[in-house]
Chains A and B, each alone.
Chain A
Amino acid sequence: MYFESLEALLNMAGHGPYVWSCYGLFFALLGINVWHAKRQQLKALKQVKAFVRRNS
């Protein structure tokens, strides 16, 4: 651990807000992408399942 305390880690000698917002943005946006792709996948599968039910 480079920092001595959790507070120091959060504050990062004044650069905390910049650094943490960047990391937050990075993971949030990528998370949204994965989530959206997953939802798209489920939706497509659901459509095909409905199609199968209709025609069986």
Chain B
Amino acid sequence: MIRYMWAIVRRDLLLVARQPAEMINPLVFFLLVIALFPLGVSPEAALLSQTAAGVIWVAAMLATLLSLELLFKLDHDDGSLEQLLLAPYPSWSLVLAKVFVHWLVSGLPLILISPLIATMLFLPSHAVPTLMLSLLIGTPTLSLLGAIGAALVTGVRGGGMLLTLLILPLYVPVIIFGASSVAAAAQGMAIGGYMALLAAMFVFALMITPWSAGSALKL
């Protein structure tokens, strides 16, 4: 089974290498949303630093959502999803492999670029490690929960909007704890509890996603 998952991971990474836009687009989108925010609200440092945590988290969530739509859709359209499902391994291993690549391609770059974003939004520098840590625990959760929606809308026309509707409500807890942890760190408060909750949600998503997305793919 490990070899099966590895075959999927390797194939998807090869595809990203052939088409790097898949990786760059969500990143550019993330930057754009961040850049538009001060233009729409105000460039004042005091206001921005106060709202930075929430803005970064919401933008990260939107960027993840944007790329989730194609998670299974491309494979479904060219028939390779059928071939993946035909292999004699449980469908949850397929889901895990796909989600891992998705996070590697869309989540990880966001984390790496987040210090830059934090500076642009005047987030206090002592909160930056917390921001990165919360994103590190939180973005895999976003990818996992999103995979459920992506699997459900795979064969459906116009799935993008639908995916957003299905998944955003499930993202509420992650957003709340993710953004609050950064805000707390900015105020110099302890963040241990937040990280524990985020980690708990990650474990929880890891438990429900493989089953539900796997069975949704087989509909």
Are A and B close enough to touch in the complex, i.e. CB under 8 Å? no
List residues of A whose CB falls within 8 A of some B CB. Answer: none
List residues of B whose CB falls within 8 A of some A CB. Answer: none
